[in-house]
């Protein structure tokens, strides 16, 4: 099966998740094309399934992902497709945080008109070593409030890789069944 993965990322965790999905799927003899939404990804037209992912920064997803979805909306709504959202709010113990991300995702899908078959949420990472001084302070305050790590000397990954693997394998299994 031919699968397209398009992603938008700000600090690299969504790219890392998309590459992991690619590795999992290629191990299952699928042909996978992966593309950054900022680099003119291919049309979803020639693929049986499409996975699109974006990360949350400053209360929104990357505009390159929104633009890609709207440019290929008719095709995407006819394909077996899924959206995966990457954010630190999903790792939070505060219920309102994950509800806010889910509402933001619904708003994104409504605004773009895309109706993916599935939506999945993955926790991201705190990339303290990549942040400037002020962002590091802000992220540390947020992490402290939400029970995350405040050790700014290193990065902290919260992505549940088993969850990512299970999601992508189930998505492909459903695609095979829907194509039959």
Phi, psi of 86 (to 5 degrees): -120, 125
The pLDDT score that the predictor gives to residue 171 is 94
The pLDDT score that the predictor gives to residue 71 is 97
24 shares its domain with 43: yes
| Three-state secondary-structure class, residue 57 | strand
109 shares its domain with 134: no
| Three-state secondary-structure class, residue 133 | helix
Domain extent for 151:
126-158
pTM of the entire predicted model: 0.90
Would you say 40 and 26 are in contact if contact means Cβ atoms under 8 Å apart? no
The pLDDT score that the predictor gives to residue 140 is 86
53 shares its domain with 138: no
74 shares its domain with 143: no
What is the chain's pLDDT, residue by residue, as a tens digit (180 residues)? 999 999 999 889 999 999 999 999 987 778 999 999 999 999 999 999 999 999 987 788 999 999 999 999 999 999 999 999 999 888 877 788 889 999 999 999 999 999 999 999 999 988 889 888 988 888 888 888 777 788 888 888 989 999 999 999 999 888 766 654
Phi, psi of 147 (to 5 degrees): 85, 15
Q: What tokens appear for 172 in the block? A: 């492909």
Would you say 142 and 15 are in contact if contact means Cβ atoms under 8 Å apart? no
Domain containing residue 17: CATH number: 3.40.50.360
138 shares its domain with 172: no
Phi, psi of 98 (to 5 degrees): -70, -30
Domain total for the chain? 2
Would you say 10 and 62 are in contact if contact means Cβ atoms under 8 Å apart? yes
C-alpha distance across the termini of the chain, in Å: 12
Classify burial at 145, counting beta carbons within 10 Å of its beta carbon; exposed 0-12, middle 13-18, buried 19 or more.
Answer: exposed
154 shares its domain with 84: no
| Three-state secondary-structure class, residue 162 | helix
The pLDDT score that the predictor gives to residue 90 is 82
Q: What tokens appear for 68 in the block? A: 């890609």
The pLDDT score that the predictor gives to residue 180 is 46
């Amino acid at each position: 099966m031919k699968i397209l993965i398009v992603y938008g990322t700000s600090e690299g965790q969504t790219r890392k998740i998309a590459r992991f999905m690619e590795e999992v799927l290629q191990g299952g003899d699928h042909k996978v094309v992966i593309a950054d939404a900022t680099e003119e990804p291919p049309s979803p037209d020639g693929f049986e399934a499409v996975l699109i992912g974006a990360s949350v920064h400053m209360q929104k997803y990357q505009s390159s992902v929104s633009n890609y979805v709207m440019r290929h909306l008719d095709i995407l709504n006819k394909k077996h497709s899924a959206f995966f959202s990457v954010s630190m709010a999903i790792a939070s113990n505060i219920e309102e945080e994950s509800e806010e991300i889910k509402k933001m995702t619904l708003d994104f899908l409504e605004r773009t008109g895309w109706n993916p078959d599935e939506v999945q949420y993955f926790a991201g990472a705190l990339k303290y070593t990549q942040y400037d001084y002020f962002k590091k302070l802000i992220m540390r305050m947020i992490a402290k409030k939400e029970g995350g790590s405040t050790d700014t000397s290193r990065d902290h990954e919260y992505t549940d890789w088993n969850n990512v693997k299970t999601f992508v394998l189930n998505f492909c299994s459903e695609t095979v069944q829907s194509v039959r």
